[in-house]
A and B are shown apart, each in its own frame.
Chain A
Amino acid sequence: MHMLTNLMAQQTIWQLPEGSRVLLATLIVLGAFVLILGLVPVLQTLPPRGRRAIIVTVTFLAGLFFAAEFFLPVDWTAIFPKDDPKRNFLTPAIQPAQNVLQIIGALALGLGTFGLVRLHLRNAVQRRAQWGYSIVLLVSFVVMATLSILNTLAEKEIVERGPVLKRAFSILFDYTLVQLDAAMFSLIAFYIFSAAYRAFRIRSIEASILMFTAMLVMIGVVPLGAFISYTLLGLPEGASPEGANFLTQLEHSIGLPKIADWVLTQLNAPAQRAIEFGVGIGGLAMAIRLWLSLERGVT
């Protein structure tokens, strides 16, 4: 890997000459598409075991790289004298690996958009139920995609940001998308209120504990809790003076904000930590199973 990264640093092999760079780059990209997508019929001829072998191998190698980079000790200057003693020989490859995964991640995010557009395009073409709304969605999608791409290119000064683009993007983004997004999620408040009134019933010890804690936190953390404790009830605010007697210390500790903070840090935190431990151990077991392709249904 060290020799490979050194080789990659030699620009003569890996970098196209400046003169015909655009043409060569275009040809190479087209060639890459033809080659990689041309592999599909070849891959299709593989038997199921062969297919699984490829998937398992790719999964294992991808995980091996990051796991090895983490586990291998640093300071390989005994073997590679010019290396940085604070990292191992795999560390320089992290950055190009990062770039690859960002590109694949972006394409994976685009998968959702592709699926959505495909579904609504089909609805519209086949005039399925409520296909009119699919047209609305597709028109919004095309307009916003165009403006978003142009706006992002304009930010990088690749295209010019005219007043029409600026205003159109602002109206569609700031005054439409942002407002719709915020309004959609704010509906949940109404539903929580309605559900809390209709469904939150004290029928067991557990429900009582949950409700009591929720109410304590809801009042204790907001300024109303401080107002009730320190203004209405006249409890002293802040920490008790040093050497104060037990009663004074108690007076300084029973304000609603103090109790809410104590509940959150001394009662809630250990419960959350226990959940974290469970999730961590489960996550480690699942990570190993996924890395070694032991999980059925994935490969």
Chain B
Amino acid sequence: MQARTQTLWQRILGIDRRWLYLILFVNIVTFLVAPIRMPASVSPPVQKFHDEIEKLQPGDLVMISSNWSASTLAENQPQLEAVITHLMRKQARFTIISIEAQSRDISYRLAERVTKEKGYQYGEQWAHFGFVPNLTVAIKGMVTDLPGTIKQDVRGTEVSKLPVVQGVKSLSDYKMIIDVTPSGTVPIWISYSPKNVSILYCPTSVMAAEAYTYLDSGQIKGMITGAKGAQEYEQLLTVVGLGTRFMNAISFSHVLIIVFILLGNFAMFMNRLQQRREG
């Protein structure tokens, strides 16, 4: 029995997925290597983020909650690098805390590298408070008694002896909390942190859509969304980081997906039309 020959539309619909993977891979390589740089249109949440940090005075204390692991490296790493760069420009002091085990080492090593380049001293101008598995009770504890809750930094130094948090008794003594995270931790910061401390949010793009309601109510003062937000923020800081380097490829990968979604729908439509004509 002869096999029915496939029509063009059926072949398009049934294309082996490995060809799709290859097309995506080639698209990304092409636009990563291509020497095109399109400037971003800075979105209002990123502008607000930047403006909030610009309000900081030298010596103001900021808490960075870094909860991302290597799985979201490409989105959260440019965000954290840009945030630390901006904080150093404003000569703000900052401490980092992680609720994810891997994030402890990743954020510590990243902060060590970035601060070393700009001459920031560990213990004097920044510190890392290590890993806590339960963020909710950690925030409650820090609001009551920060040195007693954290006890030691990653290097084993008692928090009460760290110059960067000298005289700090509670989270209320901080000016700002910046949450760099791939998971839904910002509602926990919103719920339990003191109301006088403003909150800024650096989510991966997946979590961003849900956070617009917090932006609208003013519970978060600004937001950088994933790598594209990092690019806009880098543009405001006039630095070229990973966000800027990735955006070209991101833009054209979106074009590729849209083209293929439309192609898939068009092929489905044409296939149905053909079947109706034949049948």
Contacts and interface: CB of A to CB of B under 8 A. Distances in A.
B24 A189 contact: yes
Interface residues of A, number: 65
A211 interface: yes
B102 interface: yes
Contacts of B263: 197
Contacts of B253: 189
B137 A268 contact: no
B96 to A, nearest CB: 14
A14 interface: no
B38 A226 contact: yes
Given A185-B71, A196-B261, A97 B137 contact: yes
Contact of A224 (B44, B102, B137, B251): B251
Contacts of B168: none
A218 B254 contact: yes
Given A101-B134, A181-B102, A227-B38, A94 B141 contact: yes
Interface residues of B, number: 64
B144 interface: yes
A158 B157 CA distance: 11
Interface string B12-54: 0100010011001000000000000011110110000000000
Interface in B130-166: 132-134, 137-138, 140-141, 143-145, 148-149, 152, 154-156
B209 interface: yes
A177 B70 contact: yes
A123 B154 CA distance: 37
Q: Please classify the interface of chain A as helix (H, G, I), strand (E, B), loop, or mixed, using the class held by over half of its residues.
A: helix
Nearest to A231: B38
Nearest to B39: A223
A165 interface: no
A292 B144 CA distance: 27
B65 to A, nearest CB: 16
27 contacts: A66-B140, A92-B145, A98-B134, A98-B141, A99-B149, A109-B133, A155-B156, A156-B156, A177-B102, A178-B106, A182-B74, A193-B24, A193-B260, A194-B17, A196-B257, A196-B260, A196-B261, A197-B264, A211-B261, A215-B261, A222-B250, A224-B38, A226-B40, A226-B41, A261-B44, A264-B209, A276-B210
Given A179-B70, A272-B212, 4 more contacts: A92-B144, A94-B144, A156-B156, A200-B265
Interface of B: 13, 17, 20-21, 24, 38-41, 43-44, 69-74, 101-102, 105-106, 109, 132-134, 137-138, 140-141, 143-145, 148-149, 152, 154-156, 209-210, 212-213, 215-216, 225, 228, 231, 247-248, 250-258, 260-261, 263-265, 268
